[in-house]
């Protein structure tokens, strides 16, 4: 069977593309499972230092979950489908390497949920982002209520989910839903430039940062600070930290070896 994904490596960057442009890259069960496997593979591949996730074609990043597939689900199947999507997105969120969502059009419903589980989001200026599930008599089921709340706060999360109305890229930027907005023509170049910068950073230090921010978002400040100190101390066991500090003192560029 044809995979619903394309994967390509550019130096140390793995680009994963949801490739169902005729369906606006909608997420069905097969696509969720393929994404889960692709992120497992990227996590385990030592040559991959950063990941870019996007959708095929100019119209959509991912326009949502596959409504045709969802329409026949029983309540128990609905819960299982939700948990399947949540597991995959949790896999992305807990990646030990930075993941950038390159949002090239519609990111609606499951598509916005997919973008939100990535660590950074860059959107084309014409992108539309939203959680329109309420219009189907449903609610977000792939983590949307939880991640939107944590990214943009309660008032904006309630507005977007209760109205179901999408926001444009400028409003998404103002809300903190995306990190950057760039002209569509520059989207790929800007995203790859950021990914290249991240791929050149010390991988173990980035992993510590990802872990500390992930843990800190879910616990009290004292626990978070304790976790940060432990990760900070652990960094001193790496050759990369010695190299980074030596390079700084010697006024040269560091050469990080992921050790």
Q: For residue 44, count CB atoms less than 10 angstroms from its CB and return exposed for 0-12, middle for 13-18, buried for 19 or more.
A: exposed
Cα separation, 3 vs 6, in Å, equals 7
Residue 235, H or E segment = helix 221-235
Question: Which residue in 44, 113, 223, 250 is the catalytic one?
Answer: 113
Examine the residue annotation and report whether 159 is marked as an active-site residue of this protein.
no
Can you list the positions of beta strands (E) in 109-250?
A: 120-124, 128-130, 167-168, 180-182
Contact 137, 94 (CB under 8 A): no
Nearest to 11 by CA among 231, 193, 133: 193
- How far separated are the first and last CA of the chain, in Å rounded? 39
Examine the residue annotation and report whether 133 is marked as an active-site residue of this protein.
yes
Contact 134, 144 (CB under 8 A): no
Question: Which residue in 133, 188, 243, 250 is the catalytic one?
Answer: 133
Query: Could you give the 3-state DSSP secondary structure of residue 106?
Result: strand
- Residues classed as catalytic: 113, 133
């Amino acid at each position: 069977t044809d995979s619903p994904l394309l994967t390509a490596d550019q130096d140390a960057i793995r680009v994963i593309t949801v490739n169902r442009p005729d369906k606006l890259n909608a997420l069905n069960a097969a696509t969720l499972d393929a994404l889960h496997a692709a992120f497992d593979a990227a996590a385990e591949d030592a040559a991959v230092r950063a990941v870019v996730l996007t959708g095929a074609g100019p119209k959509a990043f991912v326009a949502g979950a596959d409504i045709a597939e969802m329409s026949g689900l029983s309540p128990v199947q609905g819960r299982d489908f939700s948990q399947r999507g949540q597991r995959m997105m949790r896999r992305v969120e807990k990646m030990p390497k930075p993941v950038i969502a390159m949002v090239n059009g519609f990111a609606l419903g499951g598509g916005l949920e997919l973008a939100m589980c990535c660590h950074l989001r860059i959107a084309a200026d014409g992108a539309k982002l939203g959680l329109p599930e309420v219009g189907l008599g449903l609610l977000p089921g792939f983590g949307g209520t939880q991640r939107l709340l944590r990214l943009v706060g309660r008032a904006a999360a309630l507005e977007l989910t209760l109205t179901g109305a999408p926001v444009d890229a400028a409003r998404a930027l103002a809300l903190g839903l995306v990190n950057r907005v760039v002209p569509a023509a520059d989207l790929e170049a800007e995203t790859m430039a950021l990914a290249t910068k991240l791929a050149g950073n010390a991988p173990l230090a980035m992993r510590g940062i990802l872990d500390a921010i992930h843990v800190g978002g879910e616990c009290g400040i004292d626990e978070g600070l304790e976790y940060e100190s432990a990760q900070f101390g652990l960094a001193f066991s790496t050759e990369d930290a010695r190299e980074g500090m030596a390079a700084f003192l010697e006024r040269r560029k560091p050469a990080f070896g992921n050790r």
